[in-house]
Amino acid sequence: MSNSHDQISSGDAGMLFNAVENSGNIAYTMSFRQGFPVRILAGGSEFGGAGDTVVMGETVHPDDYQPFCEVISRVIGGTADEIKVHARMKCAGDYQWYYITGKARRSGGHLDFIDGMMFNVTEYLDCEGEDNVMRRYRSKHTVSMEQAAYTLRDILGEDYLVRIQQPFSQTKGLYSAIIDSDGTVILPKGQDAGQNLNKMDYQRRKNIRVRHQPLGSWVITGESQDIIDGSATLLETMAHTVSGVANSYVALVDEMETSQNANKLLGQNFEDQILVNGVYSIFLQSPDTRTAIKNITMLISEHFGLSEIQFCSNENNPAKTYKLDRSAAVVPVVGSFSLRPEIREELDYSGIVCTDQNSIGMTSSKKNLSCVLARTYDQGSNRGVLLYIARDSGKEWTSRERSLIKSLTQLLSTVIYKMFLEDELSSSRVRLERLAYYDAATNIPNRSCFEHEFTQGIAVGHFGAVIAVEFSNLKNISEIYGFGYADDILRSCAEYITAIPCGCLKKVFRFSSDILFVAMRGAEREEARQFAQAILTKFRSPWYLHDNEHHMRVYAGFAMYPDDAESVPACVSAATHTLRLAKERRLEDAVCYSEGLEEDLTDNRMVKKLITDAAEHGFRGFYCLYQPVLEMSTGALHCCEATVFWGNSDMTVPRERFMPIIDQLGLSKKFYSFICNMICSFCAEVRRKGFPDFRVSFAIPENILSGETSVDVLQSSLVSCSLPPSAVSIAVSEGEGTLTGSAYLQQLSDMGVNIIADDTGTGYFTAELLENSAVKTVKIKASRMSGDAISASFVRSVIKLAREKNIAVCARDVDNPQDLTALGGFDVDLIEGIFNGRPLRDKDFIDKMTQTAI
């Protein structure tokens, strides 16, 4: 006979069932509950017809139930997908031979049921004889069980001892062996027989006892103590199982060898063992712990007929409860049961209590379902309880079921605790990665994150650009507002840079206290340059945070990878070198890494050495060039503007390059005093030459203007040269951040010093500078007047507003006739530029004025 295990249509099913009805054979489905109940779909026999349910544990001949369970165990363990077995089944008080065939039906890795056919083959087999398929199982009963005369192989069979070790072969680095009483070593299938287990450093041994005497031992060895400890519970349970089965064999063979009831008990032991082994197989073979819990929950619920399983991690606090959901989720629920003292006492004594919902305070249920409480342990101490709730209220829990639940509770709780540990480790890993790869103050990815992602990207062939952006005055802001406020500014800047659109993937990292790195994957050199320039352009405008206005001093440099650098150190070096060059030279544009960059940096180091040497020797080599400022209406000399330089016979260094070096040396205040004395001495000398109203203007750095030194030093220089405060003018600008937020600027104005709002041309220019009451003169670049119509219109509005506030207007950088011609359309008071007179050193300037006067 043959049977197809494939899916069939309803019409085909009807034809099949009609054929079955006529043949006397049976179509069935088998569930994995206790006793393996079978529902007859079609056909009939003396033990049941279509629609009836037959329990195989009660129908199969006791001698055949053990091998029947062995076949089922292979399907549950996942090593087989179909069953083919001969067995005698009880029909009207007599036994007839049936050939049972079927196929496992699974969903989502879980075994749902077996469906197939049963064929009556009694006329082909002798009922009194032994089926060849079963002979190897029943032959064990012929062994003489005299102590010291038998081995584990005689009792259980070597094939069983090989298969029972399979769960250990699933773990890498773990080896198993059963040593029989005669010294024979039995290994699991697939394990290397040449592996010397005695040489392993880590071992754990458990005796297998028969009649309270060790008849063999089970040894597991491994490459680490963690592997051994992780399998210790499994070893103890499996060794206990083997001992129990062996004792059952010996007892039954010795005392009830011919008893069918004894064979039935033996089959039940195998049935329980199948369930335990199935749970272990799920635990070891599931891809993750939550899937294991799902499949174990479904298997246990189906076997015992449960409606729900709950886990309480702390029996003293039942409110902390979890429901084991069939969707692979361990769902926290509001604890609805409580343990009375008598239940707690019984749990302490036996570890398991059979009760009902009303007895544990679950009064919300109308059916008052039967349930079992089983205590869980973790490393020998109480950790909680598992609550098994049946589907009906009249269920009686047999001693066999209680014992099996007690064993399965430890297995299930082990998986649950493992899941909790994995969740905690995962959460800790996330927190540690957050601490390792993100800046705690700003929540921006840090340098370690940059190095990690850059290394991974290079390894898989990524290319792109790394832009280094420095906010050089962030330290000054932190000194005024505090470090937390400075971090807020840096975070807001990073968020803005992240929001700037570009055509490639980008990420911002905090490389140091005031430097951001922008990694642009897939960017070309020109795209990186444009993006860096967009950053610089934005931060030339005021930056607002918490209603405070800040003038950020920003520099940028970038390098391409892997063209300029192929490793993290090389990339960091290239990007920071370009940034340093931009900062030392006060460049307004982003600097790109190039072959000549190192030469530029060498030149910077030489300049730094020269400036340092000059500063340490009384500021030797520093001088001023004086640019005349003329009256627009008469062409008469109004004043001059002083610009500081350093120079020797080989080179000249402008203020933009030497001032950062002076600041780094901490000599800013001393240098300011030197410049004030030099300029005031020059002004006094010009006045003595017959120009009593002569005045000089010069710029004050932001770090000087923010302190009282700006007032005290200038006042001291004026007194020493016998000059009135009106003899000097102080130039400040929006772009350098010296025009706003300084009380000392107002104090200088109150002294009589003329305050000039200068348009440096390197940043933005707004009409807001006219709102400062200290300003008496405003300078505007001539290029703004000769530019487009919108710029010219804006300049006219600024000049008009200046007239209303009685502020003088000076056009600066008038360097050619076109600039001078353009001024004709604007109402300006003063002009300054090379076209009207080139800058001269002090002696040349005095000589020129004297000659002009003559």
d(C-alpha 305, C-alpha 595), whole Å: 78
C-alpha of 819 from chain center:
60
CA angle 594, 763, 665 (to 5 degrees): 65
Q: Left, alpha or beta for 767 (phi > 0: left; psi -120 to 50: alpha)?
A: alpha
- DSSP result, 470-505: EETTHHHHHHHH-HHHHHHHHHHHHHHHHHS--SSE
Please tell me the pTM assigned to this model. Answer: 0.41
Backbone angles phi, psi at 659, to 5 degrees: -65, -40
828, 740, 822, 817: which is closest to 777 by C-alpha? 828
C-alpha of 93 from chain center:
68
Residues 303/285, Cβ–Cβ less than 8 Å: no
d(C-alpha 816, C-alpha 27), whole Å: 108
- At 315-356, the pLDDT tens digits run 666 667 777 766 656 777 666 677 788 888 888 777 888 888
523's tokens: 């960017």
d(C-alpha 586, C-alpha 473), whole Å: 13
pLDDT at 509: 93
Question: How would you class 776 by CB atoms within 10 Å of its CB: exposed for 0-12, middle for 13-18, buried for 19 or more?
Answer: middle
CA atoms within 13 A on the CB side of 418: 17
Residues 6+ apart with CB under 8 A from 49: 40, 43
Residues 237/220, Cβ–Cβ less than 8 Å: no
235-251 burial, b if ≥16 CB within 10 A, otherwise e?
bebbbebbbebbbbbbb
- Tell me which H or E stretch contains 592: strand 591-592
In angstroms, how far is the first alpha carbon of the chain from the final one? Answer: 136
Q: E strands within 266-368? A: 306-312, 320-324, 330-334, 352-356
Residues 781/813, Cβ–Cβ less than 8 Å: yes
Q: Which residues pair with 446 in a beta bridge?
A: 510
Question: How would you class 344 by CB atoms within 10 Å of its CB: exposed for 0-12, middle for 13-18, buried for 19 or more?
Answer: middle
507-523 burial, b if ≥16 CB within 10 A, otherwise e?
ebbbbeebbbbbbbbeb
The C-alpha torsion from 679 through 681 and 687 to 692, rounded to 10°, is 70
14's tokens: 């009807």
Q: By three-state DSSP, how is residue 424 classified?
A: helix
d(C-alpha 67, C-alpha 137), whole Å: 7
Residues 411/276, Cβ–Cβ less than 8 Å: yes
CA atoms within 13 A on the CB side of 202: 14
- Tell me which H or E stretch contains 221: strand 213-222
d(C-alpha 31, C-alpha 35), whole Å: 9
What is the DSSP secondary structure assignment for residue 593, as one 8-state letter? P
pLDDT at 4: 36
Residues 28/38, Cβ–Cβ less than 8 Å: yes
734's tokens: 């929006």
Based on its alpha-carbon atoms, the radius of gyration of the chain, rounded to whole angstroms, reads 47
562, 508, 554, 504: which is closest to 534 by C-alpha? 554
What is the DSSP secondary structure assignment for residue 512, as one 8-state letter? S
784, 676, 673: which is closest to 730 by C-alpha? 676
The residue whose two tokens read 């070593």 is 185
588's tokens: 């307004």
Residues 6+ apart with CB under 8 A from 568: 451, 454, 455
d(C-alpha 250, C-alpha 677), whole Å: 114
- The amino acid that residue 95 corresponds to is Y
Residues 188/281, Cβ–Cβ less than 8 Å: no
- DSSP result, 801-821: HHHHTT-EEEEE---SHHHHH
Strand order across the 306-312 sheet: 330-334, 320-324, 306-312, 381-390, 370-378, 352-356
Residues 597/578, Cβ–Cβ less than 8 Å: yes
852, 840, 846, 844: which is closest to 627 by C-alpha? 840
282, 311, 332: which is closest to 388 by C-alpha? 311
Residues 598/605, Cβ–Cβ less than 8 Å: no
Residues 489/442, Cβ–Cβ less than 8 Å: no
pLDDT at 508: 92
Checking 329-338 for CB contacts under 8 A at 24+ apart, the result is: 329/290, 330/290, 330/293, 330/416, 330/419, 336/361, 336/362, 336/364, 337/310, 337/312, 337/361, 337/362, 337/387
- The amino acid that residue 814 corresponds to is V
Residues 698/642, Cβ–Cβ less than 8 Å: yes
Low-confidence ranges of the chain (pLDDT < 50): 1-23, 126-148, 256-260, 262-263, 266
